[in-house]
Chain A
């Protein structure tokens, strides 16, 4: 597989504390990769290593097949979780400065900034100072600064925190657009909805260790348990429930519906048994609801973390 970024056996210690313990990751080119983990798991340390803000104690990081080099800064765009801007500096001037630090020429930076400011309809902010803007407005400016130099690898640490739903959506669309244009995106978050929505691949870091990683579909498949959520319309719920309980592995179901159904989950031995189950159910009652239970990333996250606690 074509990987843009590969980390091999990365260790990082601060004194006696180990922040990263033998972490290896591969981020496929053109993917949206979600880096998940509870607070303090080591995500930010890992991102800082990719950005060469801190150096790993052991292990190697490769970008585009070559070991990470200081000049690679120009190919990476990083939106840190702890982000801010100079309060008393004007928006335009500040954006220009940060863009030029990434290696853009003044004219180039100005032109691209104009494009982005028009796109996000924030042109009138150019001469305003950051302290006159709201937090969400400042976040938009930071987003523009992160993507301005068209990096191959974009790293977003909790990108949606601080955005209202409208702007969060706007930024989400921009991120998807950037992926279309060929960028690879590394996401760090503990907000599972956005992972579910955007990511193709995930990795889970907990207490400095990588617990799992891979394509999100495969991981989900691995976590399915051939369980089906069922809603049945019948005259005598209790009789039916007792009957099913004697034949299958039955559990409670928590989905919402407007029908006054008998709700339950049934686990079958193998996936192919589902048709048999459905056939049986059809013979017993009217089937209003029949869905395979697919674990959400949130479920996987909680399950894995508690298992390793």
Chain B
């Protein structure tokens, strides 16, 4: 126990004193906050920048349908000759020109609808143009056939399903987005941490091997103690970094946003949508939804799954580090390690979003190599306690098994030099 403590504190200090670690710990929140600020600033700039689009409408019925918006202003150039209109658009550096040809007497539609522009317009712009014209055309054709359009308008109904669980808790589509956002962020963060800190463990094992200090140390402590101390010490460094990030990040974000008067939330879609609908009762619902998220459980499960997932992967990383002589040899073993993590993220972003309690999501939240990520993404949607319990028990059980196997490879590998390890070789080591 005494030696384990010594090892943990050495490993912790070695990580924390590392220059890259210090720079990353203190620079990352700055970069992160800076990016959010930049995005917020740019999106504010963007909204003041108005595009002008000219319309040359040969039919004379569509031009008035294009309504000026916050970002686009339409200019009716139908009176002019098409060639003249084009020159005017070009000379005044308008964004583009829409040309609608006369209606075809047989199909009742314009033969061609064209857009001229220096730059290719975005999807949104084109979609808006198409929708405007097709709406008008549909109405015109309905009226031509003698159908009362106002009746249709009356008959059209906006539907929004109120989602509610049996205990009477209401949720909305919006709150589902929020849950997705928080779950996804937690899962993604976890993956990043596992990869970054797993790699740190691996590098530190390789360092001890290449420095040839390993034999001096294992003549004083058991290899397993060293392995455990290394994994624990590095995880403490990870938690330190995480805490510094959270504190520094939120302080910076708060300070800067009040100082510059930029709302950092403007960069996030749900919030932007909410701002546009100011006064809408939906915002209140949004705020309530955000506040209603189970933060306490989300945070505590994040820590539990972080520790579980990190331990699982870093013991594998340590075994890989012990098996090789230099970092360049690790490539062949890296892929099988990263694969389940990426799979977890994919399952999370596709399957969980689609159906948080479906078979695929449920199974992957039990498989220990993906469960930390997938379960974290599911938790905001509400997962029965027994499912979480089963998943955590499987994770812990696998941790012991993997740690045991890794320790065996580690024990042999750290004293093995100059042997190019293959999977077959590793299997042999398990039996020594």
Asked if A98 contacts B211 (CB within 8 A), the reply is: no
Asked if A82 contacts B212 (CB within 8 A), the reply is: yes
Query: Given the complex, which residues of B lie within 8 Å of A82, measured CB to CB?
Result: 212, 215, 417
Asked if B219 contacts A83 (CB within 8 A), the reply is: no
Contact A84:B213 (CB < 8 A) given known A53-B218, A97-B6, A97-B10: yes
Query: Given the complex, which residues of A lie within 8 Å of B113, measured CB to CB?
Result: none
Asked if A83 contacts B217 (CB within 8 A), the reply is: no
Asked if A89 contacts B219 (CB within 8 A), the reply is: no
| Interface check A76, CB cutoff 8 A | yes
Determine the distance from Cα of A82 to Cα of B216 in the docked complex, in whole angstroms: 9
| Interface check A255, CB cutoff 8 A | no
Query: Given the complex, which residues of A lie within 8 Å of B14, measured CB to CB?
Result: 86, 88-89
Per the 8 Å Cβ criterion, residues 216-252 of B in contact with A are 216-223
- Least CB distance from B225 to A in Å reads 10
Contact A98:B415 (CB < 8 A) given known A84-B211, A87-B211: no
Determine the distance from Cα of A86 to Cα of B10 in the docked complex, in whole angstroms: 11
| Interface check A156, CB cutoff 8 A | no
Asked if B221 contacts A101 (CB within 8 A), the reply is: yes
Determine the distance from Cα of A86 to Cα of B14 in the docked complex, in whole angstroms: 10
- Least CB distance from B201 to A in Å reads 16
Size bracket of the B interface: 20 to 34
Determine the distance from Cα of A15 to Cα of B223 in the docked complex, in whole angstroms: 21
Between B212, B428, B431, the greatest number of chain A beta carbons within 10 A of the residue's beta carbon is seen for B212
Per the 8 Å Cβ criterion, residues 65-100 of A in contact with B are 70, 73, 76, 78-80, 82-89, 97-98, 100
Determine the distance from Cα of A80 to Cα of B216 in the docked complex, in whole angstroms: 7
Which of A14, A51, A79, A86 has a CB less than 8 Å from the CB of B213? A86
| Interface check A205, CB cutoff 8 A | no
| Interface check B432, CB cutoff 8 A | yes
| Interface check A145, CB cutoff 8 A | yes
Determine the distance from Cα of A82 to Cα of B208 in the docked complex, in whole angstroms: 11
Asked if B219 contacts A78 (CB within 8 A), the reply is: yes
Which of B215, B428, B431 has a CB less than 8 Å from the CB of A53? B215
Among residues of A, the one whose C-beta sits closest to the C-beta of B223 is A53
| Interface check A142, CB cutoff 8 A | yes
Asked if B220 contacts A101 (CB within 8 A), the reply is: yes
Asked if B211 contacts A73 (CB within 8 A), the reply is: no
Determine the distance from Cα of A236 to Cα of B294 in the docked complex, in whole angstroms: 112
Per the 8 Å Cβ criterion, residues 339-392 of B in contact with A are none
Determine the distance from Cα of A48 to Cα of B219 in the docked complex, in whole angstroms: 8
Asked if A85 contacts B220 (CB within 8 A), the reply is: no
| Interface check A43, CB cutoff 8 A | no
The A/B interface has a contact count, at CB < 8 Å, of 62
Asked if A145 contacts B215 (CB within 8 A), the reply is: no
Query: Given the complex, which residues of B lie within 8 Å of A101, measured CB to CB?
Result: 3, 6-7, 217, 220-221
Between A14, A83, A84, the greatest number of chain B beta carbons within 10 A of the residue's beta carbon is seen for A84
Which of A15, A89, A98 has a CB less than 8 Å from the CB of B217? A98
Asked if B212 contacts A83 (CB within 8 A), the reply is: yes
Between A76, A85, A97, the greatest number of chain B beta carbons within 10 A of the residue's beta carbon is seen for A97
Query: Given the complex, which residues of B lie within 8 Å of A145, measured CB to CB?
Result: 216
| Interface check A102, CB cutoff 8 A | yes
Per the 8 Å Cβ criterion, residues 1-21 of B in contact with A are 3, 6-7, 10, 14
Query: Given the complex, which residues of A lie within 8 Å of B213, measured CB to CB?
Result: 83-86
Contact A73:B417 (CB < 8 A) given known A84-B212, A84-B213, A86-B211: no
Asked if B216 contacts A98 (CB within 8 A), the reply is: yes
Determine the distance from Cα of A239 to Cα of B208 in the docked complex, in whole angstroms: 69
Among residues of A, the one whose C-beta sits closest to the C-beta of B212 is A84
Query: Given the complex, which residues of B lie within 8 Å of A98, measured CB to CB?
Result: 216-217, 220
Contact A80:B219 (CB < 8 A) given known A15-B428, A89-B14, A97-B6: yes
- Least CB distance from B416 to A in Å reads 10
Between A15, A80, A101, A145, the greatest number of chain B beta carbons within 10 A of the residue's beta carbon is seen for A101
- Least CB distance from A40 to B in Å reads 12
- Least CB distance from B21 to A in Å reads 12
Query: Given the complex, which residues of B lie within 8 Å of A53, measured CB to CB?
Result: 215, 218-219, 223, 415
- Least CB distance from B195 to A in Å reads 23
Query: Given the complex, which residues of B lie within 8 Å of A79, measured CB to CB?
Result: 216
Asked if B221 contacts A83 (CB within 8 A), the reply is: no
Determine the distance from Cα of A15 to Cα of B7 in the docked complex, in whole angstroms: 32
Asked if B220 contacts A102 (CB within 8 A), the reply is: yes
Query: Given the complex, which residues of A lie within 8 Å of B220, measured CB to CB?
Result: 73, 98, 101-102
Asked if A51 contacts B219 (CB within 8 A), the reply is: yes
Determine the distance from Cα of A125 to Cα of B218 in the docked complex, in whole angstroms: 25
Per the 8 Å Cβ criterion, residues 124-162 of A in contact with B are 142, 145
Query: Given the complex, which residues of A lie within 8 Å of B211, measured CB to CB?
Result: 84-87
Asked if B219 contacts A76 (CB within 8 A), the reply is: yes
- Least CB distance from A97 to B in Å reads 6
Determine the distance from Cα of A79 to Cα of B215 in the docked complex, in whole angstroms: 9
Asked if B415 contacts A100 (CB within 8 A), the reply is: no
Which residues of A approach B to under 8 Å, CB–CB? 14-15, 48, 51, 53-54, 70, 73, 76, 78-80, 82-89, 97-98, 100-102, 142, 145
List 18 contacting pairs A-B, 8 Å CB cutoff, sorted by A. Answer: A48-B415, A53-B219, A76-B219, A80-B212, A80-B215, A82-B215, A84-B216, A86-B14, A86-B213, A87-B207, A88-B14, A89-B14, A98-B217, A98-B220, A100-B6, A101-B3, A102-B220, A142-B216
Counting from the closest, the 8 A-B pairs by CB-CB distance are: A84-B212, A80-B215, A101-B220, A84-B211, A78-B219, A51-B219, A82-B212, A84-B213
Beyond A73-B220, A86-B207, A86-B213, 15 additional contacts (C-beta under 8 Å) are A15-B431, A48-B415, A78-B219, A79-B216, A82-B212, A82-B215, A83-B213, A84-B212, A85-B216, A87-B211, A89-B14, A98-B216, A98-B217, A101-B7, A145-B216
